[in-house]
Structure 1
Amino acid sequence: MYSRDQASQIKQAFWTAFGQYIAPQSSADGLRINWINYKTGIKHLYFKMQADKKSAFIAIEITHPDPGIQELVFEQFKELKAVLTASVGEEWDWELHHVDENGKTISRIIKTLPNVSVFNQTDWPALISFFKPRIIALDDFWSVGQYSFEVFK
């Protein structure tokens, strides 16, 4: 078992390693980008990557406090589902009004990698191989799809 500080340091080391690994990759628009803290330009809309002791996930998260607006954004993603699926090359899980680990209601489109641990350094290559193509694919999707979300800015 790790102390809170140790756990934080290990996670930070992983995300630093991932950031260095993906840094040379340009965005779909040819720009330099912070892949770990991806900015969609839409308030309450995030591309989130997370790894813990049991699994990892990458998700499009809609965190607007108004469930009605959250649902509107989610429905807009549904309109673009074929484009998103073509970009990521696989089916993701669609969760409207999911309650997250903090008790907050969010909506998300998510892909999970089970049975990996950020605390096991031998899992890091699998984590990187999971995150890298998917965040690049999300960026590819967003370079085209973002214009459908201008109304939510």
Structure 2
Amino acid sequence: MYTQEEAKQLRKQFWILFGKRCKLVPELQDGNKKWVLYDTKITGLDLKFEVDRQSAKVIIEVNHRNEKKRLEIFEKLQKYKPILENGFEDGLEWDFLYVRESGEEVCRVFVEQKGFDIHRQNQWPDIYNFLIDNMLWLESNFMDIRDVLKEEL
């Protein structure tokens, strides 16, 4: 078991090594290409990685402060569900009411791999592969609809 400080350092090391691993991804080696993440060009919509003691997730998160706007964005995403789920054998999880640890309500569309534990360093290569492979798909699918989505919102 790790102390709180040790767990914090472990998480920091995980993400540092993840950044180094991403530099080896051919799709990310073209110039200064980086993950879209918070630069979606749509207010209140982000792409995210999340890893904890139970699983790893690659997420589209709708976190607009205005609930009506948040649900509107989520409904628009649902309209493009076939495009967003392209390449995901089992589809994506759609959660219109996810409550973060902070109590903030958001909407999420995600793919999850259970059984991963960030504290198990021997799992890190598999976690990195899961995160990279799935974010490449999710980001590509999102970019296919981003401009249309922006116009509709």
Same fold (TM over 0.5): yes
Query: Is residue 2:131 matched to residue 1:137?
Result: no
Aligned match of 1:17 = 17
Counterparts of residues 112-127 of structure 1 (less than 5 Å): 112-127=112-127
Q: CA 1:27–1:124 in 2, change beyond 3 Å: closer, same or farther?
A: same
Alignment of 1:57-96 (within 5 A): 57-96=57-96
In structure 2, C-alpha distance between the alignment counterparts of 1:31 and 1:9, rounded to whole Å = 30
Name the TM-score, length of structure 1 as normaliser: 0.86
Kept in 2: contact 1:22–1:35 (CA 8 A): no
**Which is worse superposed, 72-81 or 35-44?**
35-44
Q: What displacement does 1:85 show? A: 1.0
Name the CA shift for 1:27/1:142 in 2 (closer, same or farther; >3 Å). Answer: farther
Asked whether the 8 Å contact 2:85–2:91 carries over to 1, the reply is yes
- Return the offset for 1:5: 2.2
Give yes or no for the alignment of 1:106 onto 2:106. Answer: yes
Q: How large is the RMSD of aligned CA atoms in angstroms? A: 2.3
Identity across aligned pairs (percent)?
22
What residue is the counterpart of 2:146 in the other structure? 146
User: Secondary structure, in 3 states, of the residue corresponding to 2:86?
Assistant: helix
Which AA in structure 1 matches 2:104? Answer: K
- The structural deviation recorded for 1:152 is 7.6
Q: Deviations over 1:57-104 (max 9, x none)?
A: 111100011111111111111111111111444411101122222111
- One-letter amino acid matched to 2:59: A
Is the Cα contact below 8 Å between 1:19 and 1:35 reproduced in 2?
Answer: no
**What TM-score does the superposition give when structure 2 sets the normalisation length?**
0.86
Q: How many residues align?
A: 152
Q: Which runs of 5+ in 1 are unaligned?
A: none
SS in 2 for 1:112: strand
- Which amino acid counterpart does residue 74 of structure 1 have in structure 2? F
- 2:111 counterpart SS class: strand
> Which residue identity does 1:14 align to in structure 2?
F
Partner secondary structure for residue 39 of structure 1: coil
Whole-Å separation in 1 of the counterparts to 2:31 and 2:140? 12
